[in-house]
Structure formats: structure tokens, C-alpha cells
Structure 1
Amino acid sequence: MPSSWLISWSFAAWTVASALAIYVLLIAFSRVIGPRAFSQMTAFDFAVTVALGAIVGSTAAGAVGLPAGLLALASLFTFRGTVAVARRHGLTRLVDNSPLLLFVEGRFQPGNLRKAKITRNDVYEALRLNGTTTLDEVAAVIIERNGELSVLPRNGTIDPELMENVVGDDGAP
């Protein structure tokens, strides 16, 4: 067995203690932030999650000292909390993508498809997964902030408030 595989008991104990401490703090901060911390993610949320993973991994593995890891974790959660407050005060567009109208009243919106980097086939797939059997059943398809496609059925009037922040909704039902 190579000697590089061997570690001292004190180093092993410190690694376990660091991993436990960073894990407990991660859970504590997640509880403070609320359920949105692990809900369906926007691009910003995904970036924060990747950074959290890097911090937790580096700290648990001993590549970064426990105080530095805890400070980095606290800083990231503080930043994320600040952004959450900014979202509530109308600064969402600085952090998140806006929902885009991709299909409305039987017509694709080519400019928005390009912006979203979505193909017609992606929209067709979402329609099939939604149980749609004909395009006549569809009032609109929207790509949401988190990248999911919403299919609005053509079975009544859509409340204009639902379309308020959707880009390209001028001709929406």
C-alpha cells in the first residue's frame, strides 16, 4: 500500500470534524434561507449550489481550513440572502432570466426561440409530455426562469396578470 494512502489518526479526526461542522452549518443556513434554497433552480441558484458544493468539498477534504470554509459558506449564504431580498424589491431581471413566450395561438416566436436557445422540437417534446395531442389545444408555451416549459391550454381566458412579466406576450391570449 503506497504511503500516500496513509493518514494520521489526528488528521482523520480533524477531517471528520471539519466535514461535520461544515455540514451542520450548511443545514443551518439552508433552514434560515428557507425552502427556496433547494427548490427548482434558476441559473443563479444553480451557480450558488455549485459554489456551495465546492466550499463544502474543499473544507471537508481539508484543502481549505475549517475557519476559511465556514467564512466562505457564511459569505455565500449572506450574498444569496441579499439577492433574495433584491428579488422581492423588483431587481429580479438583474439576477434571473425573464420568462419568454415561445409559442402563442398556433405560431412560434422565432426571436424568443433563439434567445432561449430552444428548438421547435424542444417545444413539441414539452407538449407531448404535457399530454397535448394537437397544437389547437395550446394557447401558449412559455420558458420559465428556471428553464422549464409551461404549457397553457386553450380552454378559457388566461388572466393577463399571469402574462405580466413574460417577454413577448403582446399577442398572448
Structure 2
Amino acid sequence: MGNLFNDSDVFVRQLWAHPLELLAVVVSAVVMYVAFWLLVRVFGPRTLRGMSTFDTVLVVMFGAVAGRVILGNIPTLAAGVVGLGTLFVLEAVFGQIRQTARGLRVLNARPMVLMAGETLLRRAMHRMHITEQELNFALRRAGVSHRSQVACVVCEPNGELSVLRRGVPIDPALLLNVANADEIPEELLAREH
């Protein structure tokens, strides 16, 4: 009978956690979420786009490390549910903040022109962590066969590269709040009436 009692204690410990342990899970989840957001801001949104096999392995490893940190030394079912719930709540809160103009500016990277006409804006590329090879890949994917066909390339807040081609003047409204938009040659822009 004593052995059955000890087995049930182990079972309960696997399912539940002390309230202070659960609070530690919440605090760890918040800190890891904010740290992840800050790292993406520092290293650019492209860190999560177009991942190679190696990048995918790194993301899985990051997830394992973050999960281990969030759950603490002895993960329990309760700690896992609380950690997962905290991450969902944080995503909902940050999603609501992104709905405001100010929140969008603070949380999202500002779109940035990386190529103006045929000119590569190397400082902007460096700041957004975009290599010339990645830029060339985006140009090829957009059907560009020569750089002279490009009006501009914009790195969007989600890390995607938008290629605007020459031929039709660019509406200046499309470039509002885009960093380095002033680098685009005037002849490529539509005249405002």
C-alpha cells in the first residue's frame, strides 16, 4: 500500500507544480518572448524568412532551448500548459498593440529601400542583413533579367523583398514611411497633381 501511495505522489508531481513554479514559468515565457522579439529586431526580419535546412535546424534548437528555459528544471504538464498559454496571451496582446499606428511603428521594422534604380544601397542592405546574393535571388524571382529594369527594391516589415519595375511611374503614396525612399530617382516617380 505504501508503494502505491509513493507512485501516486510521483504521478501528481508530474501533472502539477507549485504556484511559485508556475509564476516562474510565466515570467520566463514573458522574458523569452521579449528577448526573441528584440533579437529579431536587431538581426532583421529576414532572419525568419526563406530558411535553409540549416536555418530550420537552428529554429528547432532555439525552440528547444526556449521551451526548456520557460518550463524550468522539471517540466510538468501544468508548467507546459501555463507556458504555452502565456505565449498565446503574449501573442494576442502584441497583436492588439500592432493594431495601433504607434504600436506598429514600435513593434515592426520599418520598410526600407535597398535598391534605388540600379544603385544598391549597401548601408541599408547591411542594416537589414540582406546580402547581394539574396537581393539577386529576389530580382530573378520577380523576372528581372537586368538591373536596369528595376525602379526599386523594398525590404518589407515581414522580411519579404518587393521588387518594383521600371516602366510605370511609382505612386509616391506607396513609399510613405519607407526609409530611403528619397534615394529613388525622381524620374521613376509619378508626378503628384
TM-score bracket relative to the smaller structure? 0.5 to 0.7
Aligned residue among 70, 76, 89 for 2:100: 89
Q: Closer, same or farther in 2 for the Cα pair 1:53/1:161, shift >3 Å? A: farther
Question: If the length of structure 2 is used for normalisation, what is the TM-score?
Answer: 0.56
1:130 aligned partner, one-letter code: A
Name stretches of at least 5 consecutive residues in structure 1 with no aligned partner. Answer: 1-7, 18-42
Which residue of 2 is the match for residue 71 of structure 1?
82
Check whether the contact 1:101–1:167 (CA below 8 A) recurs between aligned residues: yes
Asked if residue 80 in structure 1 is aligned to residue 87 in structure 2, the reply is no
Q: Closer, same or farther in 2 for the Cα pair 1:95/1:161, shift >3 Å? A: same
Larger Rg: 2
Secondary structure of the residue aligned to 1:170 is helix
Name stretches of at least 5 consecutive residues in structure 2 with no aligned partner. Answer: 1-6, 16-39, 49-59
Structure-2 separation of matches of 1:154 and 1:52: 46
Check whether the contact 1:55–1:73 (CA below 8 A) recurs between aligned residues: no
Question: Number of paired residues?
Answer: 136
2:75 aligned partner, one-letter code: V
TM alignment of 1:142-161, pairs within 5 A: 142-161=154-173
TM alignment of 1:110-129, pairs within 5 A: 110-129=122-141
1:114 aligned partner, one-letter code: H
Structure-2 separation of matches of 1:81 and 1:168: 32
How far apart are residue 169 of structure 1 and its match? 0.8
> How big is each residue's C-alpha offset from its partner over 1:119-144, in whole Å with a ceiling of 9 and x where there is no partner?
33322222112211111211111112
Structure-2 separation of matches of 1:51 and 1:161: 39
Asked if residue 171 in structure 1 is aligned to residue 183 in structure 2, the reply is yes
Q: Closer, same or farther in 2 for the Cα pair 1:82/1:130, shift >3 Å? A: same
Structure-2 separation of matches of 1:72 and 1:161: 43
Q: Closer, same or farther in 2 for the Cα pair 1:52/1:152, shift >3 Å? A: farther
Structure-2 separation of matches of 1:114 and 1:93: 21
TM alignment of 1:1-173, pairs within 5 A: 43=40, 55=67, 63-90=74-101, 91-172=103-184, 173=189
